[in-house]
Each structure stands twice: as C-alpha cells, then as structure tokens.
Amino acid sequence: MTLESSVDVLVIGAGPVGLLIAYQVLRAGCSVYVIDKDDKYAGAQYGRANAIYARSAELLDQLGLADDIVQQSHFVREAYTYDDKGERVIPGRVWNFVENVADTKFDFGLMLRQRYIEECLRDSFAALGGKIHDLTECVRLEYTNDPADGVTATVKDIRTAAEYTVKSKYLVGADGGQSFVRRYLNIPFEGERTEDQWIRIDGKVKCNIPTPRAYASIESPRHGNVLWAPLDRGVTRVGYVYTSELRSRYGGKVTEEIAIREAIEAVKPFELEFERVDWWTLYIIGQRVAATYQPHSRIVLVGDACHTHSSGAAQGLNTGIHDACNLGWKLVLVLRGLAKDDLLATYGTERRAAAQRLIGFDRKISTLMANKWPEGMKRPADKDINQVLADLFDDAKGYNTGLGISYEENLINVQGPNANACSGVAPGARVPDLDLLKPGTLEVIRLHAAAPNRAVVYILAFVGDPRITLPSIAKYSAAVDTLTRKFARGVVQTVTVVALANNRIGVEEALGCLSGGKVYYDKRSEAHRRFGVDLRYGALLVLRPDGHVGFTTKMGADGVDDVEAYLKGFLVDQ
C-alpha cells in the first residue's frame, strides 16, 4: 500500500456537485483529490438530471461556469398544460414557473442532460490542472479533529484492486444517494421510500403536440401528470407514473419496449413515435434527508448524498448546485485560515433546512402527480386534483426557480439595529441582480457580474446622491479603507454604487475621493430604489460570496463599525 501526497480536500464523487466543490477548492489555490467509482470517460451516459433553473444558473455564472453550459442548452421560457382530451388548459399549470421570471438575466430554464453538464465542469476543472481518479472507490475512513491528521481514506483502484491511502484536511462526500461516506459513518437517512414508481425516457421523437419544444404537462387519468420536457440536441424526455395498474400488468419486468409503449399511451390523445431511445429508467420515489450534513468536523456531505426526492419539480441537480456553492466558499476560507471553523457549520444548518422544505413540497406534489391525495391533505370541494397540484407549484415558484430561497438568521445572516437603511432586502436572501453602469463608457454591467464568487466578501456601498451625501462618503471611505486592512488582503473588497449616470464625471469628482474598489453608476437610481435605500443617506450591504445578503446598515463611519463587528463574527482578522 502506497501513501499518496496529502491534500487539502478529498472529494468522493465526480458528478456535477463534486466537480463544483473541487473546482472552487482548486481555483482558490488549495489542493484537491477527486475519486469516482464509475468510468467518467466511458461512452454516453445519458439521462439523469437535465434542468437548471434561474438561481442555479446565476450561481454557476458567478463562478464563471455558466457560459459553456448555456452554449449547449435548449432554453425554455414557456410551459403548457393539456387535459386528457388534448385541450390546452389556460392558465398553464405546474411547469409555468419558468415563465415571466423577473429580477435575473437567466429568465428561462436551461435544458441540458447531465452528461454534457459534467463534461463542461470537467473541462473547467481540468483547465485549472485538476484530475479525476475514476474507477476508484473508497473502502475505509479514519479521522481525527487534528488538522495535521484530518481524514485518512483508504481507496481502491477498481482496475487493479490495488489499495492506497489519501490523507486530507477535509473530506467531501458527493457520492450520490447510495453514498459510501454516509453509510460508512452510519448517518441516519431520515424519511421514507414510497411505493410510487415513475418512468422517464429520453429520445428523438415525432409528436403532434402543438408545442414540442416547450415544457408541457399532460393530465392523464391513467399515467398521472405526464412530463414533456424538450432537451438538448433535439431530444425530448417523457415521464409518467408507473401506476399500480401498470405494476399489476407488467410487474417488475419492464423493458424498453414496454416503457415506449406506455409513453405512447401516456401522451394520448397526441400521437408519439420514438425514432431513437437514448436512455430510460424506472425508479422508486423516496424522500430522505441525512440527519446531519457535517457528521464530523472534517467531513461534510453534499448533493444526493444528503437528500433524495422525486424528480417531480426537477430540483435534484439544482439543490446540489446550491449545496456546492454554499459550501465551497466557506470551505476555502477555512482552509486558507481566513475564517473561523464555525463558518463551516452554517453550511449544514442552511442547506439541510432548505432540503427539508423541498422534501415537504415533494411529498405532496409527487403524490398528486400520481392522481392520489397526500395523506392528511384536505380535499377542496371546488378544485380537482390537478388544480390543487397547480396551486402548490404556484406557491412554490420562488423556491422552484431558486430566486426565493433565503436562509435563517445565523452567524453570517445578521439583522442589525440599522437594517432599515437598506429595507428592500433582508439578511439571508438572494441579492437582486440588476443593471449598473461603468464610469466613463456607461457600459452596462450586472450587479452579480460586479461581485463574482471568488470566495470574497463584498461591502456594497449605496452612497445615494453625492450632492447630498458627500460628507458621509468621505467618512465611509476613510473608515472602510482601514477596515479592509484588518483582514487578509483581498478577502474583503468594496463595490460602490452612486446615484449618477454622467459620462463626463469621473469617480473622484463624483465621490470627492478615489475609492479603493470598483465604482458603478446607478442610472435613474433604480438600484437604490430596489434595495430600499434613501438617496439622502445611503446604506451599506455586506454581500456573501455566494450572492446572499449577510448584513445591512447605515452608511458612514458608524456603519463601517457595524460591518466590522459583523465580519469579525466569522472572519479571522490580522
């Protein structure tokens, strides 16, 4: 048995979530070792996840990873619903959460099969010098709280059966629903496996459905709420419930031929023909969540390793992306000694609560999609089962797009005494994305682009109308310059937004001083209004690296003192 060089992070699982963690760690200058028991470079691995919604796209974009995925994706901005007679239901139900999405440049769904998503992420990881050790599995774990020892994993090369060890400061279990890490550590997987089963089938099809390249649902009395999802490269996914009636007819002997036959029945009265099948599956619905996401100070779980549910709202990959982008910056800052260990614990509390909300929603919709009433749900006299399903989706639109996901108050989401200075947002919520202007050229830049996720904490200063706030700007600038020097270089950066749109006025003239960070103009004061900032006073907002609001307060020297107290709650000062 040989000993590998010690690394900062061992990632078990090279799916999209594991790759996102590995990418963030390596990009920050830390070392990472990635293993996966599957052959990640083998032939086509179609199927599985296929939809990326608005907030997930934003998170990828802030890491610089969205462009390649967008280039290959099919875009959905419209969704339609058809009843069992083929008549369009207006307004649409279920998938219409992809319509009329506001407050983001990603106002559409990205449809790209997981194989291609993984390829994009692998290429970005490889461009940094990253390597994936596939056909390699973990067989044993030893761990301590001592950072010098951390976690020792015994891994086996499946090709040769040779075993060797990998020592790491942290281990991330991104190894899916059957997670070795979770099972090895005996972490309870709380929840249940239902009797419900679904079939999904991807292929090149011919169909006379009126909207073949838009999201659609077909309300079938025999196959439940049928999914029609247009994918990349002209492929379509059809999904339907493998009902008790079908189980009694076919039992467990479902073949591709049967899956095709029932897909054709499921979409009736529309006519469907499969020219080619790329992938199909029959799976059992289970809604479970790990009892803890951080079973040891040096070990964390992400993605399907810590939560599973149906594909009823296509949230599996999206939830995993949120996990990875929540954990990544925290892990990097702790690894680099720039943040306190307590910061890591917020990953588990924030993301487990989000998964529990999703599972509560999923239990209801997956049952309704099978034309059954969830246990304990009262049946309204004036609505049929499909309308009740639609109401649930309407209520959860912000969650399904991801734009409405927010986190409870904790170490990094703090409601301060002067939070009303920035009344349009709340700590823990996603920061809105909107247009700003670069000085001089007045080129448009989105706020999210001005504050990318580089494991950096941003102080976002809305300085209002400088004709009024100039004295406060001067005090703020002097104080914030001193503040940023109290932390490691570059960890705390500033972005200044000034209510101005004049290409003849430079930054120094506008602010009365030169800012230490980037400055952008707010045409017609739209950003100030959206954030609830009074132009006469201004406000400060601390932006987490993952694009969530951490803290808000008033502008000026006193406001900087508030920000310093907040930052010292989780960052290590010099």
Express each pLDDT in 241-299 by its tens digit.
Answer: 999 889 889 877 899 999 999 999 999 999 999 999 999 999 888 889 999 999 999 99
Express each pLDDT in 25-37 by its tens digit.
Answer: 999 999 999 999 9
Let me know if 275 is exposed, middle or buried by CB neighbors in 10 A (0-12, 13-18, 19+): exposed
pLDDT for 251 equals: 77
Candidate ranges 196-210, 381-395, 496-510, 512-526; pick with highest mean pLDDT: 196-210
**Average pLDDT, integer, range 95-104:** 91
d(CA 259, CA 240) in angstroms, rounded, equals 10
pLDDT for 522 equals: 95
Question: Across 467-558, where does the E strand assignment appear?
Answer: 492-498, 518-521, 539-543, 549-554
Q: Please report where in the chains the tokens 């440049």 appear, as a residue.
A: 105
Does the pLDDT value for residue 174 go beyond 70?
yes
Let me know if 159 is exposed, middle or buried by CB neighbors in 10 A (0-12, 13-18, 19+): exposed
pLDDT band (50, 70, 90) for residue 235: very high
pLDDT for 483 equals: 95
Q: Which of 71, 94, 57, 51 is nearest to 231 (CA)?
A: 51
Strands 549-554 and 457-462: unpaired
Q: Which residue has the higher pLDDT, 153 or 574?
A: 153
pLDDT band (50, 70, 90) for residue 45: low
Express each pLDDT in 319-343 by its tens digit.
Answer: 999 999 999 999 999 999 999 999 9
**Average pLDDT, integer, range 143-149:** 78
Strands 189-207 and 132-134: unpaired
The fraction of the chain above a pLDDT of 70, given in percent, is: 98
199 CB contacts (<8 Å, ≥6 apart)?
Answer: 239, 240, 241, 242, 254, 259, 262, 263, 280, 281, 282
Express each pLDDT in 62-92 by its tens digit.
Answer: 999 999 999 999 999 999 999 999 999 988 8
Let me know if 343 is exposed, middle or buried by CB neighbors in 10 A (0-12, 13-18, 19+): buried
Q: Is 123 left (phi over 0), alpha (psi -120 to 50) or beta?
A: alpha
**Average pLDDT, integer, range 219-235:** 95
pLDDT for 209 equals: 96
Q: What is the pTM of this model?
A: 0.95
Q: Which residue has the higher pLDDT, 538 or 310?
A: 538
Query: Mean pLDDT of all residues in the chain?
Result: 93
Q: Which of 172, 354, 366 is nearest to 287 (CA)?
A: 366
- C-alpha radius of gyration, the chain, whole number: 25
pLDDT band (50, 70, 90) for residue 43: low
97 CB contacts (<8 Å, ≥6 apart)?
Answer: 79, 393, 394, 396, 397, 400, 401
Express each pLDDT in 418-433 by its tens digit.
Answer: 999 999 999 999 999 9
Give the tokens for residue 462.
């809305």
d(CA 532, CA 423) in angstroms, rounded, equals 5
Q: Are residues 215 and 79 in contact, defined by beta-carbon separation less than 8 angstroms? A: yes
Does the pLDDT value for residue 44 go beyond 60?
no
**Bridge partners for 373 per DSSP:** none
pLDDT for 507 equals: 84
Express each pLDDT in 473-526 by its tens digit.
Answer: 999 999 999 999 999 999 999 999 999 877 788 888 878 776 779 999 999 999
Please give the angle made by the CA atoms of 343, 27 and 335, to the nearest 5 degrees.
Answer: 30
pLDDT band (50, 70, 90) for residue 1: low
